[in-house]
Amino acid sequence: MEALPHRSRPPSSPTPRRRTLAGGLLLAACAGWHGGARALDAAAGSADRQAFALAVRALARHARFPLTSLTAGADPIRNLKRYILDHDPHGDYLTPAELRQYRRAGRADHAGIGVQLERDAAGVLRVLPDPDGPAARAGVPDGARLLAIDGHAVQDLALPSVAALAAGVPGSVLRLQLAAPDGGTLEFALPRTRANGPSVLLQHLLGRAVIRITAFTPDTRETLEYLLHAIPAGQPCILDLRGCAGGDLHAAIDCAMLFLVRGTPLGSLQRGRQVQAWHCTRRAPPFGGALVLWQDEGTASAAEVLIAALVDNARAITVGRRSFGKGSVQELIALADGAALILSTAEVRSPLGRAIDGQGLEAQRSVVARGDDPAPWLARSEEARPP
């Protein structure tokens, strides 16, 4: 719930908040808007309808989906949220109060339970516990369906609204209700804590050095480069990305450059017909040995971008299970009344043009076994080593 992946920005493409003008934004300027005039005509009146009208104008400019059937109805804000969620699983409309709470979620005086949230291709909200975080230690299952937070049903809420609902101060208790595999429910009451552990750490599993990345942050690349020197000569570098729900997209691209030569394609960002390609800019990689990546269904977003960059360039072998499949980029578009839209505005593609969003990345060497035993993972990693 903290550090949601959709808040990342692509490298070399900063996305400052876009502001719409309260007045003077003519309907004639909304090129390609189909049906928008009808929606605005129906929205004249109350404060909610005025907020609806302002949001529709912004949607007409920035949304990648049509507005043909969007109407205010009896509850304009609820209808607006529902319409965005139906067309953009990572998008949302935030009222001014929700936006304030959403921003508080990332402040230093707020905390979480070590859980990331994603919505799968079927529209189901899933929890992805951070490795070694409070939720994981309490037994919150990876990929479980989220039903409610503190008694509030969340299935019809978009991710930013859920993040705002989950925000709180350290020490306060967050109550999760999850769907159990047998059709029942699971209940967890977890204290919110600040995440102060390292995002990259060196582990020794059954005598083998393994570098674990739990999240991508601005200092991930520097720490990873330092730890690469700890890999014994002749042994492959194993990067454990299991349960890594992503983070800073800049950092993931920077990490890929630690293993590739200058000019190597790293992937691309597609915004409609515009394509921004990324290439390695380092003169020479600091690590040239064999590389193995561990992944599972909790591996998402920026972590998948790193995997795709290395696998498509035949630089790494993947071990584990299919990754989550989150390859879209979101932007927060501030509105003049203090509300905001969060919309998916671009999609990341692998160097070979493969889509990640909604599909995930299949592991090249499968590991079926569940649990904490590293033996099956190390065995498959040994098989993946080049002769």
Residue 96 neighbours by CB distance under 10 Å: 13
Most trustworthy range by pLDDT among 18-32, 97-111, 147-161, 309-323: 309-323
Torsion 296-299-305-307 (CA) sign? negative
- Length of the chain as a residue count: 387
Q: What is the pLDDT of residue 195?
A: 66
Pairing relationship of beta strands 146-149 and 173-179 according to DSSP bridges: antiparallel
Q: What is the pLDDT of residue 107?
A: 61
> Is the pLDDT assigned to residue 22 strictly greater than 50?
no
Torsion 371-374-378-379 (CA) sign? negative
Q: What is the pLDDT of residue 165?
A: 82
Name 153's bridge partners: 148
* 256: Cβ contacts below 8 Å, ≥ 6 apart: 266, 280, 305, 306, 309, 310
> Which 3 state secondary structure label does DSSP give 185?
strand
Q: Which residue has the tokens 């230093």?
A: 108
Quote the pTM value.
Answer: 0.74
Q: What is the pLDDT of residue 29?
A: 28
**Confidence band, pLDDT 50/70/90 cuts, at residue 39:** low
Segment holding 176, helix H or strand E: strand 173-179
Answer whether 335's CB lies under 8 Å from 347's CB. Answer: no
What are the structural domains, with CATH classification, of the chain? 5-24+32-98 (no CATH), 100-191 (2.30.42.10), 200-384 (3.90.226.10)
Report the mean per-residue pLDDT for the chain.
84
Please write the tens of the pLDDT for every residue from 60-86.
Answer: 999 999 999 999 999 999 999 999 999
Please write the tens of the pLDDT for every residue from 317-356.
Answer: 999 999 999 999 889 999 999 999 999 999 999 999 999 9
